[in-house]
């Protein structure tokens, strides 16, 4: 069968559509297949619409603190339907933007669901078209960017019904504002929804199986985050095993075990936020190597099947949009013959709750466990001039250095808009910056990013403003 395209990308999320654009830029004839909406989960049901909701919640919450700024407002209220409509409108706008980019780069968009079959020089792609019928495409290379979906646990009843038991998709567009919620899981997804619904006045309880919330974060950040969220009225049940989720007449009941003792939590709604499941079913038919549902890849995204690459959520953690985009660019360049280095850039993680949390690299505990001679520095926003002026004094910046080499190996933040600050440390780690490099950087004053400089100084006993 003759090759119709140089590259076919399966999945038009942040990994897939970016891979397609880069392939087209490199002169490769490219097609992209999407079964739902351009932009994938991230733009339509994840990263982007959640940020629209969180912004509405943040502004509404700020209204109760206007007195501290010499301002006042009477009878603050919100229209929940309009908040949801705005979020959906933002998602639609972004998805339309991806359609424009596909047209601009002359990428053929095929609407339908793809299936891989054995073929040469790459697997054949058989598409069940949305419009009806099917189409078989043979390309020189295929990039699998099929993404993932919410993980559900049927054994305990933690399965979405779209009514009282939700996953992230349900939580993004409910018909009515719930008065109370139980959120299972304190990762980024669970915490962001807990933050949003609490901002609008819902009673929120977060259940976490391990001994602290946001367990992938540095322990100091995790502790500070729980304290900040509890101050806002969110309740936590830590070290709690969920044994049963059941619908009731008035909502849901969530049975948990804490320290060997059984408890039952009740609420109007339960959000299941216990991770993701990759969309990789059926790939064993072409002999693809898999590991716990994820595709096994090499350093360039290549798989054991000739001509097939895998990127993003389908290829394993971290399950982040920017990681998928980075891998997509890398795979496209490798297909085009570029001698690209291995994919090993540091991947930042961000949680857009109030307060925000951002991190990159190793935690202090992980570095010590690896036998590294750690030098750690900290600087609180409460003594940063811009933070004090803005009334955003909550949180701190923490740095982790290798004491022998001086290399920055980790950075962790909690506070106002820290997700916009973390990239400075991502760049530093990528460029293998040392403490001397960071100490010599001039930071604009007054900015909250000055706390980054102070935290780097503090690791070596040179902090200035404490």
Gap between the Cα atoms of 312 and 319, Å rounded: 7
Stretch 154-160: mean pLDDT, rounded? 97
d(CA 188, CA 351): 5
Set 326, 445, 453, 465: catalytic member: 445
User: 158: which DSSP letter?
Assistant: B
Distance from C-alpha of 86 to C-alpha of 442, rounded to nearest angstrom: 40
**Average of per-residue pLDDT across 406-420:** 98
The answer to whether 453 is a known catalytic residue is no
pTM (whole model) above 0.85: yes
Q: Is residue 355 within 8 Å of residue 395, measured between CB atoms? A: yes
For the stretch 56-104, pLDDT in tens is 999 999 999 999 999 999 999 999 999 999 999 999 999 999 999 999 9
pLDDT of res. 279: 97
Confidence at residue 340, expressed as pLDDT on a 0 to 100 scale: 80
> Percent of the chain scored above 90 by pLDDT?
97
Burial 390-401 (b: 16+ CB within 10 A, else e): eebebbbbbbbb
Sign of the alpha-carbon dihedral angle for 55, 56, 58, 62: positive
Distances (CA, A) of 74 to 68, 197, 222, 229: 15, 22, 36, 26
Question: Do 35 and 41 meet the contact criterion of CB atoms below 8 Å apart?
Answer: no
pLDDT > 90? residue 345: no
Residue in the block written with tokens 């099947």: 305
Position of tokens 């919450």? 61
> Quick one: average pLDDT of 453-464?
98
What average pLDDT does range 315-337 have in this prediction?
96
């Amino acid at each position: 069968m003759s090759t119709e395209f140089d590259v076919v990308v399966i999945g038009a999320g942040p990994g897939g559509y970016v891979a397609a654009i880069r392939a087209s830029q490199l002169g490769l004839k490219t097609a992209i297949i999407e079964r739902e909406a351009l932009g994938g989960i991230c733009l339509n049901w994840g990263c982007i619409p959640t940020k629209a909701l969180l912004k509405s919640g943040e502004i509404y919450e700020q209204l109760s603190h206007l007195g501290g700024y010499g301002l006042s407002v009477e009878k603050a209220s919100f229209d929940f339907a309009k908040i949801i409509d705005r979020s959906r409108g933002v998602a639609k706008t972004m998805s339309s933007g991806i359609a424009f980019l596909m047209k601009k780069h002359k990428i053929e968009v095929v609407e339908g669901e793809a299936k891989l079959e054995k073929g040469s020089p790459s697997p054949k792609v058989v598409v069940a078209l949305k419009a009806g019928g099917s189409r078989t495409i043979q390309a020189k290379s295929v990039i699998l960017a099929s993404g993932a979906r919410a993980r559900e646990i049927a054994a305990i009843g933690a399965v979405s019904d779209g009514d009282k038991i939700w996953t992230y998709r349900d939580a993004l567009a409910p018909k009515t504002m719930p008065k109370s919620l139980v959120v299972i899981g304190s990762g980024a997804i669970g915490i962001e929804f807990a933050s949003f619904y609490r901002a609008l006045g819902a009673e929120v309880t977060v259940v976490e199986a391990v001994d602290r919330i946001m367990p992938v974060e540095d322990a100091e950040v995790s502790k500070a985050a729980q304290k900040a969220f509890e101050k806002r009225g969110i309740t936590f049940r830590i070290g709690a095993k969920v044994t049963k989720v059941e619908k009731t007449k008035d909502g849901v009941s969530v049975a948990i075990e804490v320290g060997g003792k059984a408890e039952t939590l009740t609420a109007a709604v339960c959000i299941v936020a216990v991770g993701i499941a990759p969309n990789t079913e059926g790939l064993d038919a072409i002999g693809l190597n898999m590991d716990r549902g994820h595709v096994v890849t090499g350093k360039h995204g290549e798989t054991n099947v000739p001509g097939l690459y895998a990127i993003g959520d389908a290829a394993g953690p971290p399950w982040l949009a920017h990681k998928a985009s980075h891998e997509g660019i890398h795979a496209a360049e490798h297909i085009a013959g570029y001698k690209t280095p291995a994919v090993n850039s540091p991947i930042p993680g961000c949680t857009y709750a109030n307060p925000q949390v951002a991190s990159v690299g190793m935690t202090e505990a992980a570095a010590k466990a690896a036998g590294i001679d750690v030098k750690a520095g900290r600087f609180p926003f409460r003594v940063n001039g811009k933070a004090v002026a803005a009334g955003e004094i909550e949180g701190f910046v923490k740095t982790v250095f290798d004491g022998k080499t001086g290399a920055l190996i980790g950075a962790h933040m909690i506070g106002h808009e820290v997700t916009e600050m973390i990239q400075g440390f991502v760049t530093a780690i990528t460029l293998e910056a040392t403490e001397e490099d960071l100490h010599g950087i001039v930071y604009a004053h007054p900015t909250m990013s000055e706390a980054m400089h102070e935290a780097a100084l503090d690791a070596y006993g040179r902090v200035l403003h404490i």
